[in-house]
Amino acid sequence: MREIVKLKLTSMTQGGEALGRDENGRVVFVPYAIAGEQVIVEIIEEKKNYARARLVEIVTPSPARVTPRCPHFGVEPPPQPSPDAVRGGRNCGGCQWQHIAYDAQLKFKTEIVREQFARIGKFADAPVRDAIGMTEPWRYRNNVQFQLDESGRLCFRVFESHDLVRIRECHIIDPLLDEMFRALEFEGADFVEVMLRAGTRTGEKMIVLEGRDDEPPEISVDEPVSIAYRTPRGEIVPLVGRDALHEELRGRRFRVSPQSFFQVNTPMAETLIELVERYLAPRASDILLDAFGGVGTFGLLLASRVARVIEIEDLPSAVADAQANAVDLANVEFQRGKVEEILPKLKSKIDLVVADPPRAGIASAALAAIIAREPRALAYVSCDPATLARDARQLVDGGYRLREVQPVDLFPQTYHIESVSWFARE
């Protein structure tokens, strides 16, 4: 029997959903709703301490509610069978907040970071600044991943599902990716994933095809684009053009291999770099540790400000890229491996640290190794407020003061939140 509930929604959550409590005090999460709205929902999942619901009716809409730009955004299935639906609704999972005005998105992201620091990190009043947003919060992504349906058409995942939705348009990908998206045809192809990447400053374009067979396919292309094939074992085989693309940050050119990480939003990545530089306030005599250094984004751009940069990175392709990117720099050295394994073995003193870990955050052992070296300051670049708040507690308990947290919106129209935090040694 359907359970229909009327709710007053009170806040937005880390996962992008609105939160409310029913008359019994049960927490209910509602996708595609907005804090402040009164709604009618249907409970679709019951857990011990909470429930998840489908939005049925908006009784009192939020002033922040706007019409989504994209026809693939939404929660309700189409009234008639649609050629865009593949075993599911029409709603694409790439964006979750297109129904929220952009100034309100920034406000909610700021509140979420503050809430995570209070709830997870146990900070009574974390110094979280208002989120920095984009002037034009569309057409910003420099890479995107598609799946193929049985007809070889490009698809995204339906929100919170393994089902696919065929995509006719996407409003958050860079125009270079949009050009590739509209030109590509994969009829009869059977790839696990198709990744499109672009150097938005260099104009370079790349397609990475993830296959089911060790034998690379035969590919023909009329566009000026590089193509690589990823085998089931993770090996990369160049098929057309270059074996990597290049992007520029603050005038410096970076090589990025198909499997190497690079920030998805090039202009806002420069904002991250500016914040890291300001927080660390490097001196000419400093030794900088670039933990989780990737292709060298932070360390190489700060190399001219310090005596020496030590990058630690575990991914072989990223280390190779970083070494190529640092060919003109004599004061940078590279250590391949995990931070918690490499750092305790280093003989050098460490004055400053910049850390840009994956979503899982920094392993406790790695944090302990950083704390043990007593750097003067640490800039923590995070893509997940929950793991950031957790790690911030360990750093503060280890003798650091949290000076500032600055959310930066690298992912407009989505709930994802990037930030840079400044920790100083007490």
HSE-CB of 375 using CA atoms within 13 angstroms: 30
Please name the residue ranges forming H helices in 164-235: 175-183
**358-to-218, 261, 263 alpha-carbon distances in Å:** 34, 10, 11
Residues 5, 43 contacting (CB under 8 angstroms)? yes
Distance from C-alpha of 96 to C-alpha of 99, rounded to nearest angstrom: 8
Based on the residue annotation, tell me whether 70 is a catalytic residue of this protein: no
Cβ-based neighbour number of residue 382 at 10 Å:
26
Could you please report the per-residue DSSP string of 332-391?
Answer: EEEEES-HHHHGGG--S---EEEE---TT---HHHHHHHHHH--SEEEEEES-HHHHHHH
**14-to-110, 137, 350, 367, 385 alpha-carbon distances in Å:** 11, 20, 34, 23, 8
For residues 88, 93, 99, 102, the Cα torsion angle rounded to the nearest 10 degrees is: -170
Could you please report the per-residue DSSP string of 38-54?
Answer: EEEEEEEEE-SSEEEEE
| Burial class of residue 300 in the structure, from the number of CB atoms within 10 Å of its CB (0-12 exposed, 13-18 middle, 19+ buried) | buried
Cβ-based neighbour number of residue 97 at 10 Å:
24
HSE-CB of 354 using CA atoms within 13 angstroms: 32
Q: Locate 251 and state its tokens.
A: 């005038």
Nearest residue to 15 via CA among 86, 101, 96, 136: 96
Distance from C-alpha of 236 to C-alpha of 29, rounded to nearest angstrom: 41
* 3-class DSSP assignment, residue 132: strand
Nearest residue to 67 via CA among 39, 36, 42, 99: 99
Which residue is associated with the tokens 């989505």?
414
Nearest residue to 284 via CA among 308, 301, 254, 314: 308
Task: Enumerate the active-site residues.
Answer: 383
